[in-house]
């Protein structure tokens, strides 16, 4: 009995969930899409539960909703573009927030999977002159990526119009309804769009090179008081990612994708698998510091009020990630 009591005490001191303990719920806000696959896998396979956690996902309609509510403490974790974290930390966010943001990135996720998708009759950048393209927000997210792609394609600011249309799901639906001429989509939405007859005009990675897209983000104040939960979340997410990368799990993984993404057929799921597990996800959920430098360069060029941003380390803390890897 004494040995069992000592073991349980040691586990508690180490922050390890005790056998039979109730699961703690983490409120996680995400954009809808296949990039949530590692989370779905970790839920389905019990990796979060193994760390004493239950993850409740909330799909966000826009980055403004996601970031303002994350900053205000209504959610514990946000899976979001690191540019959103940087924007609000630097006072360049799309919407005002109460208090001083203390957001940081605690792990990486992907390279953005960003594709410029346009109406089928558009065959080149020049044909976007005078057209309206949709973005989530004008000053955050991937709007700057779109502006850089259009610039490299020979278009100047004023040659086109950017309109707010919400998150990737909302923009995808609006594009199908021909409300706009083009938008940036994230896998698997560009695959769904191409299957519906829309045209992919370009890939952001071909224009920008290294780019840090999705990250896990939280408030520093919350992380300091919830270290075990955050480390457990990272460990379970990485376990879900490793499970996806094991080709022996492909049939179950594809079924999981079809279950969670509306309109995902078996054929489209197979194509998505090749994209996301090919050049999309970071295999270890590592953070790409050089990719963050690209994000900072874009924000230094387009952000308002103007700022020269050069130090990636201001926006991340990998101590929790390092603990999760042990």
Residue 278 — very low, low, confident or very high, per pLDDT cuts 50/70/90? Answer: confident
Cα–Cα distance measured from residue 2 to residue 318, given in angstroms and rounded to the nearest whole number? 38
Model confidence at 158: pLDDT above 60? yes
| 36-76 pLDDT, tens digit each | 999 999 999 999 999 999 999 999 999 999 999 999 999 99
| 242-266 pLDDT, tens digit each | 999 999 999 999 999 999 998 899 9
Average pLDDT for 147-175: 96
Confidence (pLDDT) at 6: 52
Same domain, 195 and 236: no
Confidence (pLDDT) at 7: 46
For residue 244, whether the previous peptide bond is cis, meaning omega lies within 30 degrees of 0, is: no
Confidence (pLDDT) at 10: 46
Same domain, 101 and 235: yes
Same domain, 28 and 158: no
Question: What range defines the domain where residue 227 resides?
Answer: 24-112+212-288+304-325
Backbone Cα Rg of the chain = 20
Question: Is residue 1 in some structural domain?
Answer: no
Question: Is residue 294 in some structural domain?
Answer: no
Confidence (pLDDT) at 13: 47
- Looking at 175, 208, 241, the residue that finishes a domain is 208
Confidence (pLDDT) at 111: 83
Are 181 and 119 contacting, i.e. CB atoms less than 8 angstroms apart?
yes
HSE-CB at 283 with a 13 A cutoff on CA atoms is 4
Q: Cβ atoms within 10 A of the Cβ of 279, count?
A: 13
| 97-119 pLDDT, tens digit each | 988 999 999 999 998 789 999 99
CA-angle at 184, arms to 178 and 185, nearest 5°: 90
Question: Is residue 243 in some structural domain?
Answer: yes
Same domain, 149 and 222: no
Residue 1 — very low, low, confident or very high, per pLDDT cuts 50/70/90? Answer: low
Percent of the chain with pLDDT over 70: 94
Q: How many distinct structural domains can be found in the chain?
A: 2
CATH of the domain at 120: 3.40.190.10
Beta-strand pair 182-186/132-135: parallel
Whose tokens are 């993850």? That residue is 55
Same domain, 34 and 163: no
Range name among 9-18, 38-47, 125-134, 174-183 with the lowest pLDDT average: 9-18
Angle formed by the axes of helices 227-245 and 37-44, to 10°? Answer: 100
Same domain, 237 and 256: yes
Cα–Cα distance measured from residue 235 to residue 317, given in angstroms and rounded to the nearest whole number? 16
Same domain, 149 and 251: no
Same domain, 53 and 179: no
- How many residues comprise the chain? 326
Same domain, 181 and 308: no
Same domain, 47 and 121: no
198 SS3 class: coil
Confidence (pLDDT) at 18: 56
- Looking at 193, 208, 223, the residue that finishes a domain is 208
- Looking at 208, 239, 272, the residue that finishes a domain is 208
Confidence (pLDDT) at 152: 96
Q: Which of 324, 262, 319, 257 is nearest to 104 (CA)?
A: 319
Same domain, 98 and 219: yes
Confidence (pLDDT) at 4: 52
Range name among 140-144, 273-277, 292-296, 311-315 with the lowest pLDDT average: 140-144
Same domain, 184 and 265: no
């Amino acid at each position: 009995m004494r040995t069992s009591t000592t073991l349980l005490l040691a586990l508690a001191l180490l922050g390890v969930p005790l056998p039979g303990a109730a699961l703690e719920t983490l409120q996680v806000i995400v954009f809808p899409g296949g990039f949530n696959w590692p989370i779905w896998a970790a839920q389905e396979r019990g990796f979060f539960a193994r760390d004493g956690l239950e993850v409740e996902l909330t799909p966000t309609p826009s980055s403004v909703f996601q970031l303002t509510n994350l900053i205000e403490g209504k959610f514990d974790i946000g899976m979001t573009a690191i540019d959103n974290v940087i924007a609000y930390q630097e006072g360049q966010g799309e919407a005002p927030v109460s208090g001083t943001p203390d957001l940081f990135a605690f792990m990486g996720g992907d390279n953005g999977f960003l594709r410029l998708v346009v109406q089928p009759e558009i065959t080149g950048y020049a044909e976007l002159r005078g057209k309206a393209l949709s973005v989530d927000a004008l000053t955050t997210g991937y709007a700057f990526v779109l502006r850089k792609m259009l610039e490299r394609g020979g278009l100047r600011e004023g040659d086109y119009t950017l309109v707010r249309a919400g998150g990737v799901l909302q923009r995808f639906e609006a594009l199908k309804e021909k409300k706009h001429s083009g938008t940036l989509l994230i896998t698997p939405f560009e695959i769904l769009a191409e299957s519906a007859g829309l045209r992919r005009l370009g890939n952001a990675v071909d224009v920008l090179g290294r780019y840090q897209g999705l990250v896990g983000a939280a408030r520093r104040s919350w992380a300091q008081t919830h270290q075990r939960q955050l480390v457990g979340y990272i460990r379970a997410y990485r376990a879900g990612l490793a499970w996806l990368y094991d080709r022996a799990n492909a049939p179950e993984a594809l079924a999981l994708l079809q279950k969670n993404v509306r309109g995902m057929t078996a054929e489209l799921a197979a194509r998505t698998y090749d994209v996301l597990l090919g050049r999309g996800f970071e295999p270890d959920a590592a953070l790409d510091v050089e990719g963050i430098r690209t994000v900072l360069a874009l924000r230094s060029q387009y952000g308002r009020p103007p700022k020269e941003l050069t130090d990636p380390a201001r926006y991340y803390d990998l101590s929790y990630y390092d603990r999760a890897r042990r």
